[in-house]
Amino acid sequence: MFPGPLGLSLAGEALARGAWSLETEDIRRHGIGRHRAVDDTPAGGGPGMVMRADVLAAALDAAAPPGDPRPRLLMSPRGAPLVQKRVRELAAGPGLVILCGRFEGVDERIIAGRGLEETSIGDYVLSGGEIAALAVLDSCIRLLPGVMGAAASETEESFESGLLEYPHYTRPREWEGQAIPDILLGGNHKAVAEWRLAEARRLTRERRPDLLRPAGD
């Protein structure tokens, strides 16, 4: 599953030249018994299987021994939502270790035992944490120096200013009866900036009014 799509395009080129790196640790390598079991039935009964704390601890310790300064994320739908501010913090840090769960979930004790930061990419459930981990990695990698083509593009995007991004247009000037707004073609950069800000505010009010609420509301 890794690097998957991160091995392509700008992220893939950056990986090839060493701008970022990726190592994976197979949890099953640390499994129990002849069959390398990594899970067991839930204490108290119920459906599904739960990943064992001892197995996950062994895998985490192999990937990041005690004292490793990198934050440790557990991809989980009950975790704190991943936001751009946190992405910037992670991208500026020493790297990160991501645990991808499977089955019904992980033994609760591993979260406290290894200081895992539960992180969610949305209010839905995936089959495992791998796809979510790829999303986290992609959001961080694109902020690393030299990965993206235009430095300005990473500061004029949704969530960077607390607003959704303004609409974009390019040639042809008219397409299926829809024209590029005249203000974008007049060469007045101040007017263009004001229009873009107004459109960003309009879209945010319509689609994500929660972003406009003061913190704590």
Produce one character per residue of 146-155: b if its CB has 16 or more CB atoms within 10 Å, e if not: ebbeeeeeee
C-alpha to C-alpha distance for 143 and 5, rounded to whole angstroms: 17
pTM: 0.89
Q: How many residues does the chain have?
A: 217
The two three-digit tokens of residue 28, written as one number: 């099953």
C-alpha to C-alpha distance for 99 and 1, rounded to whole angstroms: 14
In DSSP terms, 117 is beta-bridged to: 73
Report all structural domains of the chain as residue ranges with CATH numbers, in order of start: 4-141 (3.40.1280.10), 156-212 (1.10.1270.20)
C-alpha to C-alpha distance for 123 and 75, rounded to whole angstroms: 12
pLDDT of residue 148: 87
pLDDT of residue 152: 41
Give, for all 217 residues of the chain, the pLDDT tens digit: 999 999 999 999 999 999 999 999 999 999 999 999 999 999 999 999 999 999 999 999 999 998 999 999 999 999 999 999 999 999 999 999 999 999 889 999 999 999 999 999 999 999 999 999 999 999 999 999 989 875 545 556 667 778 999 999 999 999 999 999 999 999 999 999 999 999 999 999 999 999 997 655 5
C-alpha to C-alpha distance for 59 and 82, rounded to whole angstroms: 24
The two three-digit tokens of residue 26, written as one number: 């197979």
Which H/E stretch holds residue 119? strand 117-120
